[in-house]
Amino acid sequence: MTFVQRCWQGVLLTAALGAAHEARADELAAPPRAVSLQEAIGFAREHQPQVRAALARIAAAQAAADVPAAQWLPKLGASAQAFLGSENNTTASYIASPYVDLPRIGGTTVVNASTATFQPFGSTFAAVGIGQEVFDFGRIAAQSAAADALVDATKHSSDATRLDVDLDVEEAFYAVLTAKEILRASEQAYERTRTHRDLAKAGVASGLHPPIDLTRAEAELAHFDIGRIRARGGVTTSQAVLAASVGAPDLALDANGTLPAAGDVPTLAAALELAAARDPRVAEAVSKVRAQEARSRAISAEMRPDLSATATFSGRAGGAARGSAAVADYYGWLPTIPNWDVGLVFSWPIYDGTVVARARAADATAQALREEVAALKETLTAEVERAYIAVQVARDALPGLQQQLDAAVANYAQADARFQAGLGTAVELADAEALRADADIQLARGKFDLAKSRAALGRAIAEGLAKR
């Protein structure tokens, strides 16, 4: 590549990056798409990566559960072998294949140590075999039960993931609404402060107010200007978090709606009963105990007898002398001697210490999982109690926050009237404005705390599963 070509390539790359940057800037500048809470939750349940991963784990567990039953399917295999070596007491040499059952046929001349020879002879072998499970004495069924129990545990884990995603979406959605309320309060405070600054400026010019009132008003205006800038940033950040929580391709999503009231809240006793009955984390833990118990039974079932059918068609040849001392008239390179067999094979591993030890270890693991279930129930109880108390505190605080805002608005009206009449000072008005703006923001945060704590309580008692 010449220098000119490299320069031209650099120009094109720079232009492309610039266009991409401008497109991204335009996307950030454009107002984000507004969605309702139900739309956000519905989209997350289909596209959120955590939910999709949970569904993939269910599919993987179901595929694994099909493995034990596949042992009932026939096994078909083939083997072809060729050797060169000594042939003391054998017709054809072959290595056992897991897919071809080969009974021994005939043999070469029996020799002793003085007559043994190391003369090489050729030996070839080719065979096709099929095997079929006939009766397993419940071994495969025990393995399938263990695998099915793991599928149930995976499904409960998926339910827990979906509830967690729903909660994240709800909190992000409510955070956007709260951030917009805070921005509204900050904008209104800035506009009121700007009006006060203009009044102070006119008052100073007319001699009604001292110059310090103007400088104080300018400082307050800058303070609220910074507040509204940060509030805008809070809205943008919360909208980006909402888009990420639902798994949307958008850089940001806006929330369309209002912060909800607490709604119907069950009693603490009822909430504890609901959580114990339908929380997927408990159901998952119980399913894991059952799966481990089934696995223990499946391991023990490995000691049961097994009956299988086998059939093989083979061709073989060996160049060594046979037991009758007759010398073969071929040299063993073509497996031309056919054989076939059909049979039933009964096997019984009467005792295997390794299997017994594995079963004992599986029983110990099941007991540990039972203890974890008890610990999880205690943790869930504490979680429900905390969420319930948080709802009560947030709900009880709202009337006080509303009263605080009403009083702050009244105080501001009085301070504003005094200032316009020349009776009040800029300090008095600034304090009243700060009190009103803070009360407005605190009320918005109080509503968010109530909506958030109610959503957390709904997650603790698995309301999302009841609504499916």
Per-residue pLDDT tens for 358-381? 999 999 999 999 999 999 999 999
Residue 330 CA to residue 123 CA, distance in Å, equals 10
* Backbone phi, psi, residue 79, to 5°: -150, 140
Q: Please count the other Cβ atoms lying within 10 Å of the Cβ belonging to residue 241.
A: 19
The mean pLDDT value for 47-62 works out to 92
Greatest alpha-carbon pair distance for the chain in Å reads 138
Question: With 70 as the cut, is the pLDDT of residue 208 above it?
Answer: yes
Better-predicted residue by pLDDT, 465 or 393:
393
> Do 321 and 327 meet the contact criterion of CB atoms below 8 Å apart?
yes
* Tokens matching residue 39: 């739309």
Residue 390 CA to residue 265 CA, distance in Å, equals 12
Residue 311 CA to residue 300 CA, distance in Å, equals 29
Query: How sure is the predictor about 344, in pLDDT bands with cuts at 50, 70 and 90?
Result: confident
**Range in 108-117, 164-173, 212-221, 310-319 with the lowest mean pLDDT:** 108-117
If residue 77 lies in a helix (H) or strand (E), which one and from where to where? strand 75-85
The mean pLDDT value for 390-397 works out to 93
**Range in 173-182, 198-207, 266-275 with the lowest mean pLDDT:** 198-207
Closest CA to 154 of 68, 67, 56, 247: 56
Which residues, in sequence order, are CB contacts of 461 under 8 Å at separation 6+?
Answer: 266, 271, 274, 275, 278, 279, 384
Q: Please count the other Cβ atoms lying within 10 Å of the Cβ belonging to residue 246.
A: 25
Predicted pLDDT of residue 18: 43
Residue 215 CA to residue 49 CA, distance in Å, equals 54
Residue 232 CA to residue 29 CA, distance in Å, equals 13
Predicted pLDDT of residue 380: 93
Question: With 70 as the cut, is the pLDDT of residue 90 above it?
Answer: no
pLDDT in tens, 301-318: 999 998 888 888 888 776
The mean pLDDT value for 44-50 works out to 91
Predicted pLDDT of residue 345: 83
Closest CA to 126 of 311, 321, 329, 338: 338
Better-predicted residue by pLDDT, 177 or 315:
177
Residue 127 CA to residue 130 CA, distance in Å, equals 10
pTM: 0.76
Residue 335 CA to residue 315 CA, distance in Å, equals 5
* Tokens matching residue 188: 């209104």
Better-predicted residue by pLDDT, 370 or 430:
370
- Mean pLDDT (the chain, rounded): 83
Predicted pLDDT of residue 342: 85
Query: How sure is the predictor about 109, in pLDDT bands with cuts at 50, 70 and 90?
Result: low
The mean pLDDT value for 164-182 works out to 94
Predicted pLDDT of residue 3: 34
Predicted pLDDT of residue 319: 63
Better-predicted residue by pLDDT, 66 or 334:
66
> Do 172 and 335 meet the contact criterion of CB atoms below 8 Å apart?
no
Pick the CATH number of 33-66+142-293+356-466 from 1.20.1090.10, 1.20.1600.10, 2.60.120.430, 3.40.718.10: 1.20.1600.10
Sequence ranges of the domains in the chain:
33-66+142-293+356-466, 74-135+307-347
**Range in 20-24, 156-160, 431-435 with the lowest mean pLDDT:** 20-24
> Do 278 and 466 meet the contact criterion of CB atoms below 8 Å apart?
yes
Question: With 80 as the cut, is the pLDDT of residue 262 above it?
Answer: no
Query: How sure is the predictor about 437, in pLDDT bands with cuts at 50, 70 and 90?
Result: very high
